[in-house]
């Protein structure tokens, strides 16, 4: 059942991405010849509204084939009024942006659903206090529950982390509950070193406390869920960009790259944890799909956007030979990246550790 749900989730994300391209193309009068979920041999085919709707044997991907445009043949062109090539570069750019944007919009609505169902978070309860830290010197003790900082209500641990991080080392007035007794404590954060999720040593304002392992469920109203969802989409996007930057710089090992097997496995496990966990993971994968497709790599939406920007600015299309060679290089890079992900996936399944 988990594998079936994972397949349905991936198919949904692909469908939404390609639907974005499809709707934008039709908005500008471009004929969409084929809308395919999957690659390889056709399993189901249906002709409707001038488009061939296809479900193919390998559902781990998909594409929209517009008249005069073919990723496998970048030199294909058509000058008919309903072709992709006949449209102005800015219109083509919107068509290309629509796919990734659709994924980000889907993630936004999934996060709204998560917020309305309830989000698990750490309670704003102190677990440990570092010796000689600002918190220790101010008198904060393990077990203290933080109620507010500078009169801002604290409902979960991430609230206080954000306020402290943005404090710029200014004094903070903290209201705590210590076994039913309310106390006001003034604490001035200082720059301290910690390890982020990428195992990098970073400095940021801290007061020297860590959370108790008390889990709470936070529910949001619709008005609160909208900014929550927006922040989650932005944070997820920045997380993916940061990961790509670290991968390129070498700070993140290529062994950390996962492929479709990892995505399927984690999606299946997320489905077993409940609908909220599945929504969160689906939203994250949707953001991932949107951001990765915006990379300036030929054969991806981002690469096509660069080509169209060039045509718009220079008032002439890119040289066909250069376009062909760059697209070929883009496909080689993508296939190599997928191969690396598959190789890492197989090693994980076999329990092989990288050297």
Helices 275-293 + 222-249 axis angle, to 10: 50
Question: Which DSSP string do the residues of 216-252 spell out, in sequence order?
Answer: EEE---HHHHHHHHHHHHHHHHHHHHHHHHHHHHTSS
**Domains assigned to the chain:** 2-118+255-350 (no CATH), 121-218 (2.30.42.10)
Report the residue count for the chain: 355
Give the chain's mean pLDDT. Answer: 86
What pLDDT does residue 144 have? 94
Residue 141 to residue 348: CA distance in whole angstroms: 42
Give the pLDDT score at 354. 47
Active-site residue flag, 18: yes
Q: For residue range 157-193, list pLDDT tens digits in order.
A: 888 888 988 888 889 999 999 999 999 999 999 888 7
pLDDT band at 20 (very low <50, low <70, confident <90, very high): very high
Of the candidates 165, 201, 174, 346, the residue with the CA atom closest to the CA atom of residue 260: 346
Residue 71 phi, psi dihedral angles, 5° rounding: -60, -30
Rounded CA-CA distance 305/62 in Å is 19
Give whole-number Cα distances, 123 to 73, 154, 156, 208, in Å: 55, 9, 5, 17
Residue 199 has pLDDT above 70, yes or no: no
Whether the predicted pLDDT of 200 surpasses 70: no
Closest CA to 35 of 197, 162, 47: 47
Segments of the chain assigned E as strands: 32-48, 51-66, 119-122, 126-129, 145-149, 152-153, 172-178, 181-187, 190-195, 201-206, 209-211, 215-218
What is the C-alpha to C-alpha distance for residues 164 and 170, in angstroms, rounded to an integer? 9
pTM of the model: 0.81
pLDDT over 90 (residue 203):
no
232-283: pLDDT as tens digits: 999 999 888 887 787 777 666 777 776 666 777 777 777 777 888 889 889 9
**How many angstroms separate the CA atoms of 31 and 218, rounded?**
47
Most confident of 17-31, 191-205, 306-320, 336-350: 17-31
Which one of the listed residues 18, 193, 217, 311 is annotated catalytic? 18
> Got the DSSP string for 102-125?
HHHHHHHHHHHHHHHH-EEEE-SB
Q: What is the pLDDT of residues 161-170, one digit of tens each?
A: 889 888 888 8
When comparing pLDDT for 350 and 287, which is higher?
287
The pLDDT assigned to 138 comes to 93
- Residues 207, 187: contact at Cβ < 8 Å? yes
pLDDT of residue 291: 93
Q: Summarize the confidence of residues 114-123 as an average pLDDT.
A: 90
- CA proximity to 71, closest of 79, 62, 80: 62
């Amino acid at each position: 059942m988990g594998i079936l749900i994972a397949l349905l989730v991936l198919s949904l994300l692909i469908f939404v991405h390609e639907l974005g391209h499809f709707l934008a193309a039709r908005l500008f009068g471009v004929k969409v010849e084929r809308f395919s979920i999957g690659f390889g041999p056709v399993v189901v085919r249906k002709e409707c509204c001038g488009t061939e709707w296809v479900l193919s044997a390998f559902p781990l991907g998909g594409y929209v084939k517009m008249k005069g445009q073919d990723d496998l043949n970048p030199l294909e062109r058509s000058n008919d009024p309903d072709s992709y090539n006949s449209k102005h570069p800015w219109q083509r750019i919107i068509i290309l942006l629509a796919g990734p944007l659709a994924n980000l919009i889907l993630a936004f609505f999934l996060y709204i659903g998560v917020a309305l169902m309830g989000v698990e978070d750490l309670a704003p309860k102190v677990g440990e206090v570092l010796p000689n830290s600002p918190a220790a010197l101010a008198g904060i003790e393990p077990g203290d529950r933080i109620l507010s900082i500078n009169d801002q209500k604290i409902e979960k641990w991430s609230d206080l982390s954000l306020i402290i991080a943005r404090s710029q080392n200014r004094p903070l007035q903290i209201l705590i509950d210590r076994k039913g007794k309310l106390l006001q404590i003034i604490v001035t954060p200082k720059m301290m070193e910690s390890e982020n999720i990428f195992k990098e040593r970073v400095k940021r304002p801290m007061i020297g406390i860590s959370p108790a392992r008390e889990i709470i469920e936070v529910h949001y109203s619709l008005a609160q869920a909208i900014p929550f969802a927006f922040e989650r989409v932005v944070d997820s996007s920045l997380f993916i960009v940061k990961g790509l930057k670290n991968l390129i710089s070498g700070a993140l090992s290529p062994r950390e790259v996962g492929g479709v097997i990892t995505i399927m496995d984690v999606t299946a496990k997320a489905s077993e944890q409940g609908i909220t966990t599945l929504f969160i993971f689906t939203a994250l994968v949707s953001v991932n799909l949107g951001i990765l497709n915006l990379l300036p790599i030929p054969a991806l939406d981002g690469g096509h956007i660069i080509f169209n920007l060039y045509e718009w600015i220079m008032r002439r299309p890119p040289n066909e030979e250069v376009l062909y060679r760059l697209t070929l290089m883009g496909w080689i890079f993508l296939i190599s990246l997928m191969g690396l992900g598959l190789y890492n996936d197989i090693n994980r399944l076999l329990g092989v550790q990288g050297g």
